[in-house]
Structure 1
Amino acid sequence: MVGLSVLELATVEEGRRASEALEAVTSVARGVDELGFQRIWVAEHHGYRSVGSVAPPVLATHLAGATAALRVGSGGVLLPNHPPLAVAEQFTTLAALHPGRIDLGIGRGPSTTDARAVRALRGTDEPITDAAYRAAVVELLGHLAGEDGPRVLPGADESPEPWLLASSPGGAAIAAELGLPLAIGHHIRPGNTIDALTRYRDEFRASRWREQPYVIVCVETLCAQTDEQARELARPSALAMAGALQGRGTEAELPTPKEAERQEIPSEVGDRLAALRETQAYGSPSTVRTRLTQLVERTGADELMLSTPVYDPAARLRSLELAATGARDE
């Protein structure tokens, strides 16, 4: 099995405090560091009721200080919302504090198109074009490389490793053109994964960042002792996803397990939710091992990044431990 990493959204269960959600991420990071995972990335979302990962540079800094060997980074910084120089300064500073351990994943996402978030972050609600996004990526890479432009950090001899995040062939093509390693959001748009990876590998150009293509595939993974226990553990996140599929997006809540027992998956999204879950890795260690192995075989992934949508940190870490043990036993 390929290397394993973790994607964290700092899930906030309904009725919980942000401090609890962020402490849970810290606990998980320490645990996967001890388990030998390769990296942990934190996402950037704005205005979501159940997502506490809103400031990747801040959270990544905290996690890097709380762990020893784990690579830490963003999965990712939503570049259209930030000046490229500011992003370069933040992550170059972080790389100087924790040499050899910092990743800078950049991408686009719902919080770059949501009108309220865009207006608050950029002062305009004009959508960013594909050309402008590519130009921002190029500018950021120039700052990281110390090319023309303002000095990023005096005396810096360490830079973060840049990654491009994508869930479509178009995003993968930018990564290929610029010679960047690619993290593909299979958990977001699984139907795009194969086409995006094919385009990335076919069009890849070697660069100062990578001589050969390198792919992380991100997959929702929830592992318990039995398939039935995994389904029970997944019920709160299934209800949250059902809310998102119904168009409630940022307002979809993550109910407590007790509250989730009383709620039903809406029939109008049940089939869509089930179809999405079939593309991910939910179940017992043997089931998850099979799903992850099949995913690696289909995609040629160099690494898998596991997103585990469970609030309880002990359950989240146990799920990751079971998944890793099963994968390594293979």
Structure 2
Amino acid sequence: MVDLPLSALEVSVVEDGATPADALRNFRTVAGELDRLGYDRLWFAEHHHSPAIGAFPPVLLAAHTAATTARTRVGSGGVLAPNHAPLTVAEQFATLAALHPGRVDLGIGRGPGTFHEPTARALRRGADPATDEEYRGDVAAILGFLDKVGLGELPEPWLLASSDAGAALAAALGLPVAFAHHIRPDNTVTALERYRDAFRPSRWCPEPRVLVCVETVCADTEEEAAALAGPMDAIKAGLLNGRAETPFPTPAAAAAHPLGGRDREAVAAFAAHQARGTREAVGARLARIAEDTGADELMLVTPVFDPAARVRSFALVADLRTNGT
């Protein structure tokens, strides 16, 4: 049984041979089903210049989803502070919160959202990557501008983290933290312990609050889940070896080019920290992650192109909340 709130992170996968427009159509289908299935939040990640992930601004996807769904909270997971003027971020999300009261989250992150250096520099208008001090200043400025926009209703702010430093900043600012277990699972437990130990209450959050994001691929059989996860494994193997991002392969293409021994071991070690397999296996794994991390909420990222398979995965996990394992 998974007895925590469940949410979803949308990364808008663009499969090899498909187009970003196809990814947008898929996202609209999945968003509606997540609302129907009772998922608490649907967040959108900021990416740029990727052959595998669509470059869709989170605030626009959040606005569209809020207007076309009934209850699910929407937001950024995250909007990347160094890429944007703090006042602009505050204006956009305060406006969205005023239009959809009680349904908007503002997840703030740090990374550039791209592995392509010219794109990263273009986003920063030629500036170098933000320092720790600059990033902290950007986050503080966004929070400060939210009130000054003067719309009354405010989004719920979260800080995204995948390291001790990010968790420490969330603690210092008194923000709930969304930890990217799906990116750096080895850091999760230690970083969250430090977050709780160092947390300072604020107007935004009176006590530590933790959301853990887990890569989750659930299917009716172990074999189907492995096939659906195969394309993302191929992408991960490339990144682990320092290769640039490649188009997101189809399951058939990934199966036709199995990973070599070292890559297979590295990807398997990573996957062991995530949740894959049948409903029962995924339920047990999510329950263990929740116990180990002390998470208050779980967010699932399901990097599968086929919308029917993604919805099926989300539906199987949602069923755990009502019917158990």
Describe the SS at the equivalent of 1:272: helix
1:295 matched to which residue of 2? 289
After the TM superposition, which residues 30-109 of structure 1 pair with which residues of structure 2 at under 5 Å, given as runs?
30-109=32-111
Q: Are 2:42 and 2:74, in contact at CA under 8 Å, matched by a contact in 1?
A: yes
Q: Residues of 1 paired with 2:161 and 2:227: CA distance?
A: 31
1:136 matched to which residue of 2? 138
The total of aligned residue pairs comes to: 322
Question: Deviation at 1:195?
Answer: 1.1
Deviations for 1:60-86, whole angstroms, at most 9, x for unmatched residues? 111111211000000000101111000
Segments of structure 1 that go 5 or more residues without pairing to the other structure are 147-151
**Is residue 2:227 matched to residue 1:232?**
yes
Q: Residues of 2 paired with 1:10 and 1:257: CA distance?
A: 16
Provide closer, same or farther for how the CA distance between residues 44 and 238 of structure 1 changes in structure 2, counting only shifts above 3 A.
Answer: same
2:320 matched to which residue of 1? 326
1:199 counterpart (194, 214, 226) = 194
Q: Residues of 1 paired with 2:17 and 2:273: CA distance?
A: 31
Q: Residues of 1 paired with 2:36 and 2:58: CA distance?
A: 22
Question: Deviation at 1:117?
Answer: 2.1
Q: Residues of 1 paired with 2:181 and 2:219: CA distance?
A: 21
Question: Deviation at 1:47?
Answer: 1.1
Higher relative contact order (CA 8 A, sep 6+): 2
1:317 matched to which residue of 2? 311
Instruction: Give the letter aligned to residue 301 of structure 1.
Output: A
Q: Residues of 2 paired with 1:328 and 1:228: CA distance?
A: 25
Q: Are 1:42 and 1:75, in contact at CA under 8 Å, matched by a contact in 2?
A: yes
Provide closer, same or farther for how the CA distance between residues 53 and 8 of structure 1 changes in structure 2, counting only shifts above 3 A.
Answer: farther
Question: Deviation at 1:237?
Answer: 1.8
**Is residue 2:237 matched to residue 1:242?**
yes
Instruction: Give the letter aligned to residue 183 of structure 1.
Output: A
Identity among equivalent positions (%) equals 53
Question: Deviation at 1:328?
Answer: 3.8
Q: Residues of 2 paired with 1:69 and 1:97: CA distance?
A: 14
**Is residue 2:161 matched to residue 1:166?**
yes
Stretch deviating more after TM superposition (121-130 or 306-315): 121-130
Instruction: Give the letter aligned to residue 97 of structure 2.
Output: A
1:214 matched to which residue of 2? 209
Deviations for 1:134-168, whole angstroms, at most 9, x for unmatched residues? 0111111101133xxxxx25xx1211111000011
Q: Residues of 2 paired with 1:226 and 1:134: CA distance?
A: 45
Provide closer, same or farther for how the CA distance between residues 71 and 185 of structure 1 changes in structure 2, counting only shifts above 3 A.
Answer: same
Question: Deviation at 1:257?
Answer: 2.3
Question: Deviation at 1:240?
Answer: 1.9
Q: Residues of 2 paired with 1:328 and 1:211: CA distance?
A: 30
Instruction: Give the letter aligned to residue 202 of structure 2.
Output: S
Describe the SS at the equivalent of 2:39: coil
Instruction: Give the letter aligned to residue 83 of structure 2.
Output: N
**Is residue 2:19 matched to residue 1:25?**
no
After the TM superposition, which residues 109-188 of structure 1 pair with which residues of structure 2 at under 5 Å, given as runs?
109-111=111-113, 115-146=117-148, 152=149, 156-188=151-183
Q: Are 2:49 and 2:55, in contact at CA under 8 Å, matched by a contact in 1?
A: no
Segments of structure 2 that go 5 or more residues without pairing to the other structure are none
2:248 matched to which residue of 1? 254
Stretch deviating more after TM superposition (57-66 or 301-310): 57-66
Instruction: Give the letter aligned to residue 161 of structure 1.
Output: E
Q: Residues of 1 paired with 2:147 and 2:209: CA distance?
A: 20
Runs of 4+ in 1 over 4 A off after TM superposition: none
Describe the SS at the equivalent of 2:108: strand
Q: Structure 2 length normalisation: TM-score?
A: 0.95
Q: Are 1:115 and 1:125, in contact at CA under 8 Å, matched by a contact in 2?
A: no
Question: Deviation at 1:327?
Answer: 4.4
